[in-house]
Structure 1
């Protein structure tokens, strides 16, 4: 009752933007915060001297552990969640390795990231289950009509395809690997030598070639693509080749081979954003947050800074984040759009 919830959430997000990696670091940032920063954050005046006391580390920890993740996401929702910006979405999961205990496995989070590399939704996967039903749950509350949703081979399920096409009026881009042996074999046996639509693209270190055909025995599938990726290890010079099959529901006049290749590249690119950025900038894999909603809420706080930085056209996240601590009590507040 002493501190407004919005002030506590803002303070935690600003502290993380300034480099805080733990509850203790957030509490330390608050102890050092001047009165003008506490005023902007929304802390209240208490006592006859007109002072705005800051919350302690214990208070921040209790809020982070008890606040429902949906509530925190609503308070920190980035601008990219507006409907007109949902063109391409990618879903991927990651483990908060530091949350593992003797009796519980590490918390696993399923995140949805858009074409602007902003995390727009996140869900903690319950114990004793997997990502498949959670993908439908995390997308259920989003307006994704017309968007192209890509996911890993684990989500290549008929119910997922039905949910996206029928319920959400969206399109899917699903990878086929050996976890679906029958479907993989059908893709492999297709008459690729007769396919006329193809696209070749090259980037540094690897290349792609896409061939498309129609009529695959999978729900709503209109095209299947064979992607051949070549990689060269710049250190050893060793070259490797991998063949991946991808199925999608738009017909060829709506999704050309180059569109499929671009979407695939975007999916593999966004996977790095979910894993690489938090681990590099905040050492997320070693975070020891374990209790309550702490793992997913701290992950949301870490995602908030890159989300906001990308709206400023920042391209180097590490450099942009390193700039915040030089003005720890003004720059993070400006980044989050907190009025003066």
Structure 2
């Protein structure tokens, strides 16, 4: 296992499907408090809610997160459930050290699962990994995080890949706790594995669409000479985004004897790109395979599913790097790197759920009223 499972971290509800209708406060109450009982003064849920609210208000570090509750008025501390002092009606904010210990100690699998979106009912789920570069220290490698995100930009979960292992060994553990019936899982070439295909189709009743690159020489060699020019199933897409004009030509063929579990269709995407400022042209050919038939997934849908894999890079990893400066973060100890990434994912999910498609603009909006808007966005009563 690449992480603690949800059942190892939760003591009240072992089934993730059972928490779908619960509020964030109710979900966090399911997490066991990892702190030693002696000397505990602040409710654990209040500590986590303070951290989540601070991140939505724009906090990027432990120091910034600690300053948020220290400056919070009494009405905000009351909503968080902060500790009541000896003076009636006066609440005490958890200190920076208390928040830092809580984030570093809390079970990363449980926190990620309970604060993530549910993949049930989604058309697709994309899987991709990212290294938190700033967490590298001396001989200790950077924390590598494996994320799953729905096609509409909601992060499902994100565990840490243990050192000296790879994303491949964590694939089944990442998706195992979730109901993926009818969902198409997309992934890069690293996850084009027979065991992954069997796991998705035979155990999860899901579908797959992984990319095939030269790193799978046998499979890649069988796909390249297929009669792509004769394919009648094709799709043309054009778009302009981020100063780049791109044309994509998607062609699909029904295949037999591909020697890959459950594969019945192959696709090829030709990407022609032009930089609007530089005029530089680029060309890329991408192959993929799927268990979806031509009736289930014509080229229009295949192209959309293939785009969802790129979405996780642009709408999650890039956003965390630019809006939260994740690669510059020096948080390294304990479960800090993965849990801080989870809090950032929660902020991104929450802002998108409330109509903020530009995350940087959403963070600025929350920061203008930092002790009300983040709590309102998180639906904290």
Q: What residue number does 1:208 align with?
A: 248
For the residue of structure 2 that corresponds to 1:162, the secondary structure is: helix
Matches of 1:325 and 1:254, distance apart in 2: 45
Indicate yes or no: 2:26 matched with 1:26.
no
Indicate yes or no: 2:271 matched with 1:229.
yes
The CA deviation at 1:161 is: 0.6
User: What is the aligned-residue RMSD (CA, Å)?
Assistant: 1.3
Check the 8 A contact 2:119/2:156 in 1, yes or no.
Answer: no
The CA deviation at 1:235 is: 2.3
Unmatched 5+ stretches in structure 1: none
Q: What residue number does 1:135 align with?
A: 171
For the residue of structure 2 that corresponds to 1:275, the secondary structure is: helix
Q: What residue number does 2:361 align with?
A: 319
Please point out which of 334, 351, 355 is paired with 1:309. Answer: 351
Deviates more, 1:312-321 or 1:23-32: 312-321
Matches of 1:71 and 1:269, distance apart in 2: 25
Q: TM-score with structure 1 length normalisation?
A: 0.96
Indicate yes or no: 2:166 matched with 1:166.
no
Q: TM-score with structure 2 length normalisation?
A: 0.86
Q: What residue number does 1:95 align with?
A: 131
Q: What residue number does 1:150 align with?
A: 186
Matches of 2:162 and 2:348, distance apart in 1: 26
Indicate yes or no: 2:314 matched with 1:277.
no
Deviates more, 1:268-277 or 1:95-104: 268-277
Unmatched 5+ stretches in structure 2: 1-39
Check the 8 A contact 1:116/1:310 in 2, yes or no.
Answer: no
Q: What residue number does 1:246 align with?
A: 288
The CA deviation at 1:270 is: 2.3
Matches of 1:258 and 1:334, distance apart in 2: 39
For the residue of structure 2 that corresponds to 1:81, the secondary structure is: coil
Indicate yes or no: 2:146 matched with 1:110.
yes
Matches of 2:368 and 2:227, distance apart in 1: 60
Check the 8 A contact 1:92/1:110 in 2, yes or no.
Answer: yes
For the residue of structure 2 that corresponds to 1:224, the secondary structure is: strand
Q: How many residues align?
A: 336
The CA deviation at 1:218 is: 1.3
The CA deviation at 1:75 is: 4.6
For the residue of structure 2 that corresponds to 1:303, the secondary structure is: helix
Deviates more, 1:42-51 or 1:329-338: 42-51
Note closer, same or farther for the CA distance 1:152–1:252 as it changes in structure 2 (3 Å cut): same
The CA deviation at 1:15 is: 0.5
The CA deviation at 1:82 is: 6.1
Check the 8 A contact 2:119/2:178 in 1, yes or no.
Answer: no
Indicate yes or no: 2:186 matched with 1:121.
no
CA offsets per residue over residues 208-233 of structure 1, 9 Å max, x none?
A: 11221222221111100011000112
Check the 8 A contact 1:229/1:243 in 2, yes or no.
Answer: yes
Q: What residue number does 1:59 align with?
A: 98
